A = this chain, B = another copy of it.
Amino acid sequence: MSMAMSMVTRKITTTKIDFMNKSEVKVIGILERVGGFASAQELYQLLQRNGESIGLTTVYRSLQSLVSDKIVDQLRREDGEAIYRLCGDSHHHHLVCKQCGSTVEIEGSAIERWTKAMAEEHGFREVGHTAEIFGICPKC
């Protein structure tokens, strides 16, 4: 399966594509190939090896844009480097292994309720939240 093909697939299954430029499409393409988390630097290297013409700056910019459009998830490795992956559409949280970096998507309805309760108690509006759990997975 070519990357071009997967891009076409995405094109007809999302509406977001209309707001994406070439670079963002390239980044999505490589993220699809990777099929998990990768850092900006890694994605840049992979794109280079694939013969894509794209600068590191543009990779960073595209990722930022995709993250703020909720198309890509961003979290942090233990060394602080940001890692990215295509996100599923449902809102979820992550259980991340500090050792090997493997992640499990977890359910967070308790968090949603906590957020609402706390926001209400303090009169906050338009609330969102972040929540991640870090630990050491069974394998490690």
Name A's B-contacting residues (CB within 8 A): 75-76, 78, 80-82, 95, 97-98, 104, 106, 108, 110-111, 113-115, 118-119, 121-138
Which chain B residue shows the least CB distance to A109? B114
Which chain B residue shows the least CB distance to A117? B110
Q: How far is the CA of A127 from the CA of B78 in the complex (A)?
A: 13
- Name 8 A/B residue pairs within 8 A (Cβ), A-sorted: A76-B80, A95-B118, A95-B122, A97-B124, A122-B137, A125-B135, A127-B135, A129-B134
Whether A129 contacts B125 by the Cβ 8 Å rule is no
Q: A39: shortest Cβ distance to chain B, in Å? A: 11
Q: A95: shortest Cβ distance to chain B, in Å? A: 6
Q: How far is the CA of A124 from the CA of B98 in the complex (A)?
A: 10
What are the 6 A-B residue pairs with the smallest beta carbon separation, nearest first? A127-B135, A124-B135, A123-B138, A131-B131, A80-B80, A110-B114
- Other A-B contacts than A108-B114, A110-B114, A115-B133, 12 sampled, CB-CB below 8 A, are A80-B82, A95-B124, A106-B121, A119-B133, A122-B138, A124-B133, A124-B136, A125-B136, A126-B135, A129-B131, A129-B134, A130-B134
Which chain B residue shows the least CB distance to A116? B133
A80-B76, A106-B118, A130-B132 as given contacts; A124 in contact with B111, CB under 8 Å:
no
Whether B78 contacts A80 by the Cβ 8 Å rule is no
Which chain B residue shows the least CB distance to A76? B76
